[in-house]
């Protein structure tokens, strides 16, 4: 089963879902993958008698080759001096992103070819936002919601409410707007996945 999970530029949802759901392979944008290493991990599971493998793929996960091409295009945009060069670089990146849209389907076909096992693809998309909230979800929503109401009552605006330990704290929007929080390669979740034997594609 190859399940595509939301996460165009950051792999938090896929990594968390993969850990919680017991995925055998977890592919995130922060760790470019080698399809042959994934096929090898699936093959090892088959040899040990497992008749299935779950591959959790962030929609932005990329092969090492694709990651190099994207990186080169983004560096070209950074170096661009003239407006023409910037427009050309942006068009190149847009074309790469369009090509990348069917990456999960391509990956599934590659895995079928390498493992000789059938791949079934599920693209979850926004369906994963429609699940029933757990007790922890409800408590978090209540904590953040009441903190937000308190800030409004105090006329404190221009902030987002963030969970920090057991408290909820206001964070100025200029500290978070337009910034991406990627999964660090040494994050405890990544370490836990590796210690469980989960293949991260590298």
C-alpha atoms less than 13 angstroms from C-alpha of 48 in its C-beta half-sphere: 9
What is the C-alpha separation between 80 and 82, in angstroms, rounded? 6
- Indicate the range of 93-102, 165-174, 181-190, 191-200 predicted with least confidence: 93-102
The rounded mean pLDDT for the chain is 90
* 19-28, 118-127, 133-142, 185-194: range with lowest mean pLDDT: 118-127
The answer to whether residue 188 scores a pLDDT higher than 80 is yes
Top pLDDT among 76 and 29 is at 29
Residue 124: pLDDT band with limits 50, 70, 90? confident
Q: Which are the contacts of 26, defined by CB distance < 8 A and separation ≥ 6? A: 11, 14, 15, 18, 19, 56, 193, 198, 199, 200, 201
Q: Which pLDDT band holds residue 187 (cuts at 50, 70, 90)?
A: very high
Q: Mean per-residue pLDDT for 166-175?
A: 92
Residue that wins the pLDDT comparison between 87 and 27? 27
For the segment 127-163, what is each residue's pLDDT rounded down to a tens digit? 667 778 889 999 999 999 999 999 999 999 999 999 9
What pLDDT score does 12 carry? 94
User: Tens digits of per-residue pLDDT, 80-98?
Assistant: 888 887 888 888 888 888 8
DSSP string, 33-53: B-HHHHHHHHHHHHHTT----
Cβ neighbours of residue 164 closer than 8 Å, sequence gap 6 or more: none
Its pTM stands at: 0.83
């Amino acid at each position: 089963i190859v399940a595509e999970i939301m996460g165009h530029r950051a792999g938090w949802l896929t990594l968390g879902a993969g850990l919680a759901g017991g995925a055998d392979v977890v592919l995130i944008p922060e760790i470019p993958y080698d399809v042959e290493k994934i096929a090898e991990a699936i093959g090892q599971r088959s040899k040990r008698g497992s008749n299935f493998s779950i591959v959790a793929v962030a929609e932005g996960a990329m092969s090492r080759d694709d990651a190099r091409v994207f990186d080169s295009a983004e560096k070209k945009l950074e170096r661009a001096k003239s407006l023409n060069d910037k427009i050309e670089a942006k068009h190149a990146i847009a074309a790469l992103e369009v090509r990348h849209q069917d990456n999960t389907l391509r990956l599934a076909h590659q895995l079928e070819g390498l493992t000789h096992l059938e791949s079934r693809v599920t693209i979850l998309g926004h369906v994963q936002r429609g699940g029933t909230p757990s007790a922890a979800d409800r408590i978090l929503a209540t904590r953040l919601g009441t903190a937000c109401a308190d800030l409004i009552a105090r006329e404190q605006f221009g902030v987002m409410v963030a969970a920090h330990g057991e408290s909820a704290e206001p964070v100025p929007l200029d500290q978070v707007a337009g910034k991406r929080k990627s999964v660090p390669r040494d994050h405890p979740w990544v370490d836990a996945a590796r210690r469980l034997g989960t293949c991260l594609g590298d």
